[in-house]
Structures are given as structure tokens and as C-alpha cells.
Amino acid sequence: MVSPQLTGTVILTWNDEYLNRVRKVRFSGAPGPIARVGALMHVAMYEVVRRLTLPAPPYPELLPIATVQAEVQAADAADPALGLPQLLQNNGLDAAGVEVLRADVAAGYAASFVLNANDPMGIPLPVVPGEEASRAIGEAIAKAVLAHRSGDQMIGFDKVPNPAFGIPSKLAVNPDAPLRGEWRETGSGMPVTPNWGKLARFATGQPIQPGDGVLPTVLPTRLDSYEKLLPTPDYTLAFNEVALLGAKDSVARTPEQTEIAFFWANDLDGTSKPPGQLYTITRIVAEQQGTTGDLLETARLFAWVAVAMLDASIVAWYVKYFWPAGPASTNRADLLRLWRPESAVQQALTDGNMSTATEPRWQPLSAKRDGSNFSPSFPAYVSGHATFGAAHARAMRDFYKRDDIAFTATTEDPHATRDANGVVRTRDFKSFTEAALENGRSRVYLGVHYQWDANGGYQAGIAVADAVAGLFNTPA
């Protein structure tokens, strides 16, 4: 194992730095790009620590060996005196190398390099005399991680879709049948990162295809069009529930349901967003369970949940924009990009369902800092929060090999419920699953999702995490 003095402090420190940059909107405000940066950073630190651990841990390689070797050779060519290839022996170190390379120092340089590569305002971490070799190996691994995911930049960061993408604006909405049920702008902007679902999953290295085991089945494929879905009793039930409980002025929503709604929201700039809240839970549990006393295990835990959340973002956004026909479809009628409850309630006269009632002034509880109400600017099915939460819960369960670990979670949402002293209330959970299910349910209370969005997201998130587990589990 890693030397006893090497605790997980460096992982926690750089995770804090990453979350601070998210709060300062230094990365894209969409959940996918935020999750991507966190995954790149934590994978880089994990790969550094894994390589600089004696004896070599029995964990699988996350990066292509050739990519890593190329970056190490390039670093050595830039400064041959470092002798990096000689220090690294079969992904581990000889005894002399331990005195030259420190895993925690190298991991810090790796994290700094990844964050600054994704943040044009970032300030490079200065090299401390005597740490040249640690800096070189940390940055070499970081470059290998960035190279491994370089294709993301070409696909996923578009904010405005091609006109042929087929998503209507609010002003162009036609009440005729082709647009019944389809997502449209609600005043919060054009659809965010609509092609994010085309990215390759980290677990497989391949983009999602229809029929992949990670796609939800909560909405059966027989309900693969608005004409089939909107008249069903299931739609009526989901519609009426969110219309009642999710309205900004709901009298049916209980105080605790309102607390739950805002506790899990964290959608606003200035917060660490949904990925950040889950990273904070990871830290809370890791410190509580004593994991942070071990550098390698801390690095493995954070990389595990980071990769699970990155893949969760890809799967959720695939379902939002390309389910069920897939990204190759050029026919909008083959895709189900479901409208938000805000549009559904305001325009219920167009849905062809006699059991839904129109409320033209209906608004969700979800609110900006100034109190104005809004719906996130992307389709409803599935819930990103639910997918993230389920993937995180499953990854935590798989790491600790149990689900029933009690913990207390926190929130950064500015509208969160406060106690009599003005302190934001925390929430207690008996298990990771309990927290994930409440996370998904909260989106109904917030008025921005139907319950099947939460159920489908939970199903997809569990499947995503199951696929990721093989990257991190030790061999039997």
C-alpha cells in the first residue's frame, strides 16, 4: 500500500478547488461538461497514485497504455535528466524511485494541469525545487487523460443546435399535432448541450446505441410517440401530480416536500451544481468511514464516482434528445423529446387528453436567485438529477460493498430551507439508495419533472454504475 503518511488529503484539496471553479462558472454551467472536468481530474489523480503505489495495486488500467507511455516519453524527452521511464517499472516503482516520486505530489500536479487545461483563467501550479520528477509524471498522466477524451470537445460543447436539429422555439410553437408534447423554450434559453449524448461512455469507449443495456425502459417503446403517450392514463397521472405538487403556489405541497425540492435543486450559477452536491456527499462519507486515511483508496473512490457521473450525464442526455430511435435518426417524429411540465400545463388544450386541465399562468416552484420561476432548458425525460443521483449511489454502494451507510447531506441552493437561526437545514439518510430516490422525487416537487422522469433516470443511473464498476473493482 501507499506509505502511511500519504493520506487522501490531496484528493480532497483538489476536489475542493474543482468545486470552487464550478461555483465561479469557470466551466460550462451544464451538468455534462461539469461532470467531465471532474472525471478527468479524478481519473488523472487516480492513475498517478495507482502507478506510484508499492506494491502495484490489482486495479485495472483506465487509460490506454500506449497513450500513457507516449506522454511519459514526451516528458522525458523534454528533460532527459528526469529519467521517468527508468523510474516507472511495470506501472510501479523500484525502491529508489519511491524517494524521487511522491504519489500525492504528482497527483496534485496532475489535478492542476487538468483544471487549467479546461480553465483559461487558471494559474499553473508552480514547480517546487526537488519535485521536478513528480511534476513531470503528474502532468504526463494528465495529458494522457486529456488525449483519451479529446473527442469530447468536438461533439458535446455546442449550446445552439443546428437548425436541422428540429427543436422548436417557444415563439414558433404550432399547436398542431406534430408538436404536441415536444419540448420547446420556456424562457430559460435554447436547448443546452443537445449533442452531449453522442459522446463515448468512459466505461466502454463507445457511443450509446439503441438497445444498449443502460437505456431506461420505464416508458415502454410502445409509447414512443406523443400521439401514443399523451392520451394514456399514465400521462394523466404524471401530469396531474406535478401540476398539483410542483406549482409555485401549490397548497397541496407540504413544507417538507418544499424543503426536499430546494435541497436537491442546486441548479443555479454560484452553486457547485448537482455533481458538486454528490461530490460533497462522497467526501462526507469518506471522512466518516475513514477512507481518507488512505491515499489510494480515496483516489479510487473519487475516480469511481466521477466516472459514474460522467457516464450518467452522457446517458441522460442521450435519452433526452435521441430516445428511442438514436442520434442517427433524421426524422423528428422518431424521437421523444418531452416537454417540461410548465409547457404541458400551460398548453394542455393541445395534448389531446380530455383528463388534463390547462392553466395558462402555471409556473414551477423552481426559481432563480431573483425569485423568478424557470424550467431547465432541455427536455424532461429523463431527469438528469435522478440519473446522477442513482449512478452516484450505486458507485458508493459498490465501493463500500454495502448500501446502508447513514450520513448527513448538505445543500448550496439559495432557496434551501433554513432553521430559526438562519442556518441551512441538512438532511439525514439511512442509505445511498434512500438519498438517490429522494433526489429524483424532488424534481416533481420542484415542478420541473414528471415522476417517470425520475424513475427512468434512476433505472439508467443504476445501469451506468454497474457498467463502471468493472473498471474499479479489485479482481476476485
Please list the rounded mean pLDDT of every run of 10 residues in the chain (476 residues).
Answer: 70 98 91 96 96 78 87 88 72 52 93 95 88 92 95 70 46 49 87 90 94 93 90 97 98 98 97 98 98 96 98 97 88 88 95 96 97 96 98 98 98 95 96 98 98 98 97 75
Whole-number pLDDT of residue 177: 40
Whole-number pLDDT of residue 245: 98
Whole-number pLDDT of residue 165: 47
Q: How many CA atoms lie within 13 A of 225 on its CB side?
A: 8
Whole-number pLDDT of residue 175: 43
The helix (run of H) or strand (run of E) holding residue 339 is: none
The rounded distance, in Å, linking the Cα atoms of 191 and 378 is: 5
Which of 341, 346, 315, 316 has the alpha carbon at shortest distance from 449?
341
Residue 296 near residue 57 (C-beta atoms within 8 A): yes
- 401 torsion bin: left (phi>0), alpha (psi -120 to 50), beta (else): left
